[in-house]
A and B are shown apart, each in its own frame.
Chain A
Amino acid sequence: MIADSLTQELEHRGISRRDFLGFCASMAAVLGLPDTAIHAIAAAVESEQKPILIWLEFQDCAGNTESFLRASHPTVADLILDLISLNYHETLMAAAGSQAEQVLAQTVHDNAGKYIVLVEGSIPTGADGAYCTIGGKSALQIARDVCGGAAATIAVGTCAAFGGIPAARPNPTGALSVADAVPGVKNLINMSACPANAENITALIVYYLTLKRWPPLDQYRRPLFAYGKSIHDNCERRAHFDAGQYVEAWGDEAHRHGHCLYKMGCKGPATSQNCPVVKWNEGTNWPIGCGHPCIGCAEPNFWDTMTPFYGRLPNVVGFDVGKWIDPVGLGLTGLVAAAAALHGVGEVVRHRFGKTSSTEGEAESE
């Protein structure tokens, strides 16, 4: 056994303990954890046995894999070399064919009940499973065998979480989400979005390493830390929505000055994700930031319920309030009332579009 291996490794790479704690602090910030959690994160990632991950790809486009490669804190090199043991991942692993399949079988056998599975892509049920086979086995059989023995299963991306594009109308291959294809799987967490944001994937892993439990989930089994608020609630253009300032045509003055994209089809009011907060590619930008409406990609069945993408979302509370304020004018009382009415618009909308009966879930702790 190698004592203090992580610290040594970091020092070899010119990373001081201070830098390392800085990384832990940024993870804590993504997760909304108190400062005291920083040392707990540090201790967790320094433990000797690296947690074992298996990444399965079924009816996928590898977009979530690519997103994972964009992870910045920690980077994918840090993850693979130092923090986790990524035993199986078709896109990245060196071995192929039977050598690759041996690794999968061995990992599942030797670590029953201990490994974590990430699933990317939906699982087809048509044609006896022949719409997706790996090593001659159907995706459904592999999912049952591997997810069945996992400590937890993380459905990465909307295809694995909710069926996604293969399951969109008319669903030619009978594609299902992990939840529907492998019912009863233990500690299932859905990291939806198309693709899932790299920072959320790494945040989930670090959450588990740090707190030794899985995060509380919303009604679609998505972690609250990433899906607990709507795009609209946190949108940098929200003030323009409230003020009734909308883009009317692509490239018009309102568009150039960052006004609200609601009239151009933005699905932000009906979509729960932390895009406006963490953004993408190390916080560089996000779709609304570059002038395109949100397409609602983190929501179940968004390919059918959020299309046409450029069609205006109906019944959003607060729409055109600003236009109404300006010409009419309001006394102080009226403004306060309007502000109170607008507060929590996102919450109202979210419940309108979400299932109202289900309760928020929480995965079991291991």
Chain B
Amino acid sequence: MAHVVVDPVTRIEGHLRVEAEVDGGAVKEAWSSSTMFRGIELILRGRDPRDAWVFAQRICGVCTTVHAIASIRAVEKAIGAVPPPNARLLRNLIMAAQSVQDHVVHFYHLHALDWVDIVSALDADPAKTSSLAQSLSDWPLSSTTYFSGVRDRIKTFVQRGQLGPFANAYWGHPAYRLPPAANLLAVAHYLEALDWQRRFIKIHAILGGKNPHLQSFLVGGMATPVDPDSQNSLNIDTIAALDKLVADGLAFVSRVYLPDVLAIASYYKDWASIGAGIGNYMAYGDYPEDDSENPQLFLPTGVIHGRDLTKIGMVDQARITEQVAHSWYDYSVGNDKGLNPFKGETTPHYTGPKPPYERLEVAQKYSWLKSPRYDGAAMEVGPLARMLVAYASGRPARVKELVDKALSTLGVGPEALFSTLGRIAARAIEAQVLVESMDKWVRGLADNMARRDYRIQDNSKWEPSSWPSDCFGAGFHEAPRGALGHWVHISNGSIVNYQCVVPSTWNAGPRDAEGQPGPYEVALVGTPVAKPEQPLEILRTVHSFDPCMACGVHVVDASKRELARVRVM
């Protein structure tokens, strides 16, 4: 039995540590720990709720829009502000651009090197890479000359002797299985994706002033004026620019990203039965399609228990609790209890080993993450959860179409979705569905301009004097990494209590009071480990969740007040 520690888990956002017992070439037991804590929710107390999104946004700079969106939705629910249609469309575009860009960056820059051996790419025959590329899609950068240039560039890089971020990795590890030609293709697309993500995210610069940390959100709407007759507003030039960027995005996702995922997956089909995880999935749903109080959501809401796709439950926030039995916090009601976020409390209390340390005391408390539970059960959230809910719900129809196509391309059944590979495929399919949907929101914006609807903001609720003296709200969002919720209590114009329950808390959280492990911890059990001193396979399963640890760790207010009135999106 080997005790394997992976700390830092790199190629993620934030600070994650995994400890695992490995025996007989596979993980027997695993513990996931987050090792960083800031306390942004405590910092939010006493602030102007209209500022909250700017603070909350800084929870994460990778998924840089998601906490801003959840925050403004929570505050809007609390004070009763209703964003106008243009704001809904702009937010949908910003959110979709975030997810699409994030998914591409995750696959190529955070995850691909678990599957792609860069050193092997040096031995590739560019002609073979060219024919492989042309068999996968009609993406124009596919000539022998092109791949020859990429290979030579990498060769020169290696020959200069400074390997930089690629040094001391797992090159040559027996778990790498792509032929040299496919490795070269993936390396070429790693570099192309680096350029592509920088260009595509200009959508955020146009609609948000800058990326990362866009600066155009407002409680009640958006700060970006709309007026086709002004050079200082979103105008027809903007529509044309968005059209171009969305078309470029669609081209890259449909002709490079999705085909690459399926091509690489075809060499690793055994990973369709590894890393299955907890088997419970939850999605709040998102992308409102109309401006009613309960709008139709483009990506639907739902809960799946025990991999049963025939029964989709509705999500009720009242059933969400967080536990701290193995987290470095104390609950006044006892550390074996769970608390709904509206009644949540957080008293940080570090009881782990004093740094520097070698091992965590995993039988005790071992993480800055809490353990969120839905009806007492651990839930996996993220693209796989969303695509499963959409697949089972039959809408949007495009999801079922793309999932079935991917399954038939790989020659596997729907059970393959519950796996490490399933998470990777679901993310690529979601990117395709979202990038395809962006056009209709751009058209919506143009249609509003045509009918001279330039409203961007509910100014009637801007002044705190227009708010109830005491109010509560919860705002939900499907972030790239999964279901995100913010809960806020406002009194006399300032924040009394602020809480977030975040995707990576759901997925990466530690065991609960009953000893029930979190989704990472379950998914890792059974993951093969060929060389415990080079735990490449552990990275594969952990990275398939796309960890975002700065998001996952949060501190909430110790207020224990019962809530009189709750508005939920």
| Pair from one complex | yes
B15 touches A133 (CB 8 A): yes
The answer to whether A65 has its CB under 8 Å from any CB of chain B is: yes
Q: CB-nearest residue of chain B relative to A76?
A: B194
A292 touches B8 (CB 8 A): no
Listed A/B pairs (29) with beta-carbon separation below 8 Å:
A2-B156, A5-B156, A61-B59, A62-B62, A75-B194, A86-B164, A86-B165, A87-B164, A92-B109, A96-B8, A131-B38, A135-B7, A136-B355, A138-B356, A165-B38, A166-B39, A172-B555, A173-B37, A250-B459, A251-B454, A251-B457, A256-B230, A256-B454, A258-B233, A285-B209, A292-B215, A303-B43, A308-B47, A309-B51
The answer to whether A85 has its CB under 8 Å from any CB of chain B is: yes
Interface size class of A (residues with CB under 8 A): 35 or more
Q: In the complex, what's the smallest C-beta–C-beta distance from A260 to chain B, in angstroms?
A: 11
Interface residue count for B (Cβ, 8 Å)? 104
Q: Assuming A169-B43, A195-B212, A257-B232, is B60 touching A61 (CB within 8 A)?
A: yes
B197 touches A69 (CB 8 A): yes
The answer to whether B513 has its CB under 8 Å from any CB of chain A is: no
Q: CB-nearest residue of chain A relative to B210?
A: A280
Query: How many contacts A-B (CB < 8 Å)?
Result: 334
Q: CB-nearest residue of chain A relative to B225?
A: A256
Closest 10 CB pairs of A and B: A63-B61, A258-B232, A172-B39, A280-B210, A94-B169, A281-B205, A287-B209, A284-B205, A287-B215, A61-B61
Q: CB-nearest residue of chain B relative to A289?
A: B209
Q: Assuming A59-B36, A292-B215, is B58 touching A50 (CB within 8 A)?
A: no
Contact residues, B223-237 vs A (CB, 8 A) = 223-227, 230-233
B60 touches A77 (CB 8 A): no
The secondary structure that dominates the B interface is: loop
A residues near B169, Cβ cutoff 8 Å? 93-95, 99
CA distance A132 to B109 in the complex (A): 24
Question: Which of A69, A72, A138, A249 has the largest count of B CB atoms less than 10 A from its CB?
Answer: A69
Seen from chain B, the residues whose Cβ lies within 8 Å of a Cβ on chain A are 5-15, 35-40, 42-43, 47-48, 50-51, 54-55, 58-62, 64, 105, 109-110, 113, 118, 149, 152-154, 156-157, 159-160, 162-170, 191, 194-195, 197-198, 201-202, 204-213, 215-216, 218, 220-221, 223-227, 230-233, 328, 348, 350, 352, 354-358, 454-457, 459, 462, 534-535, 539, 550, 555
B62 touches A92 (CB 8 A): no
B residues near A189, Cβ cutoff 8 Å? none
CA distance A282 to B204 in the complex (A): 12
Q: In the complex, what's the smallest C-beta–C-beta distance from A128 to chain B, in angstroms?
A: 5
Q: CB-nearest residue of chain B relative to A259?
A: B232
CA distance A309 to B11 in the complex (A): 34
Q: Assuming A96-B10, A100-B168, A308-B48, is B43 touching A172 (CB within 8 A)?
A: yes
B residues near A165, Cβ cutoff 8 Å? 38, 40, 43, 55, 58
B residues near A101, Cβ cutoff 8 Å? 8
A residues near B55, Cβ cutoff 8 Å? 165, 168, 303
- Complex partner residue of A285 from B61, B170, B194, B206, CB under 8 angstroms: B206
